[in-house]
């Protein structure tokens, strides 16, 4: 092996946030290369490209610029959530900051920038980081939506079901980390899909039951929740890795950030 999640990022032959392999260009006759991709649990859906060094550098610079802009905005929203939580003594803002922090961590893992800049030696963490951060983001998002729209006031059974979905998501992720198999991987991603369905159900009910001035809060969540289904579908082998499955949640979170930052300090009343 030359690169990949079994090797520390600092030991990769080319220092980038995605695995890059050098090919010998100083030859005067055809050369055959063999590539073996080994991954026991996750369906292989990564695109393979042969590029020149100059094109690779240009693509990396452009990607780092755009990702830097995203992470700067996302971290700003985390800070604003913490400041509002402290100033207004409101747990909803604290949950919003927690959700945005989990989202930032998930994107740092999925783009490879976390392993490249923050934990270049932690191969054990890199191996489980994507499933853990996805689960953390889903649970934090469901927790935030439950706190903002208070289903326990009108639908105690629905509230109990939401708490059960959160617990199942945590247990399935811990099981997948402790005993990683193909079945545990499918179980964890199936639980994530159920959590997304539960989240969107809460949002749809909030749109129908809440006053008009709070519906935009739920509508701000919906695109992000829909985009979050794409990484799960990729893990289940339904989608290939590409711009949509890789960056849809980033685009949706940037669009929703101004909306979600306006979460009311008082629980929205039901009509």
For the stretch 203-233, pLDDT in tens is 877 777 655 555 667 777 778 888 888 888 8
- Are 99 and 220 in contact by the 8 Å Cβ rule? The answer is no
Q: Which two tokens stand for residue 14?
A: 């080319």
For 9, the 3-state DSSP assignment is: helix
pLDDT one-digit tens code per residue, 106-137: 999 988 899 999 999 888 898 889 889 999 99
**Of residues 248 and 25, more confidently modeled:** 248
CA 247 centroid distance within chain: 9
Q: How far is CA 69 from CA 29, 72, 128, 133, 203, in A?
A: 44, 5, 26, 21, 29
E strand or H helix that includes residue 60: helix 53-88
What are the two backbone dihedrals, phi and then psi, of residue 270, each rounded to the nearest 5 degrees?
-85, 150
Rounded to 10 degrees, what is the CA torsion of 157, 163, 169, 174? -140
Distance from C-alpha of 100 to C-alpha of 143, rounded to nearest angstrom = 12
Distance CA 20, CA 6 (A): 14
Q: Give the separation between CA 135 and CA 166, rounded to whole angstroms.
A: 9
What pLDDT is attached to residue 75?
92
Strand partners, 270: 210
């Amino acid at each position: 092996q030359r690169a990949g999640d079994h090797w520390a990022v600092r030991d990769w032959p080319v220092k980038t946030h995605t695995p890059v392999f050098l090919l010998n260009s100083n030859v005067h006759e055809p050369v055959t290369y063999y590539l073996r991709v080994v991954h026991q649990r996750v369906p292989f859906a990564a695109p393979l490209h042969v590029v020149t060094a100059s094109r690779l550098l240009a693509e990396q610079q452009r990607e780092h610029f755009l990702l830097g802009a995203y992470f700067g905005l996302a971290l700003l929203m985390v800070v604003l959530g913490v400041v509002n939580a402290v100033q207004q003594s409101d747990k909803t803002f604290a949950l919003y900051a927690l959700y945005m922090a989990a989202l930032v961590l998930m994107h740092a893992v999925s783009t490879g920038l976390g392993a490249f800049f923050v934990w270049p030696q932690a191969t054990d963490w890199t191996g489980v980081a994507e499933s853990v951060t996805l689960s953390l983001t889903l649970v934090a998002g469901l927790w935030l939506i439950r706190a903002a729209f208070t289903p326990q006031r009108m639908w105690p059974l629905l509230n109990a079901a939401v708490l059960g979905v959160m617990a199942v998501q945590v247990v399935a992720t811990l099981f997948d980390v402790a005993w990683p198999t193909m079945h545990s991987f499918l179980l964890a991603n199936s639980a994530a899909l159920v959590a997304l369905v539960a989240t969107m159900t809460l949002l749809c009910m909030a749109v129908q039951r809440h006053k008009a001035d709070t519906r935009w809060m739920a509508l701000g969540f919906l695109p992000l929740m829909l985009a979050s289904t794409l990484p799960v579908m990729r893990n289940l082998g339904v989608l290939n890795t590409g711009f949509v499955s890789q960056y849809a949640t980033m685009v949706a979170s940037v669009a929703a950030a101004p909306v979600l930052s306006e979460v009311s300090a008082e629980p929205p009343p039901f009509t």
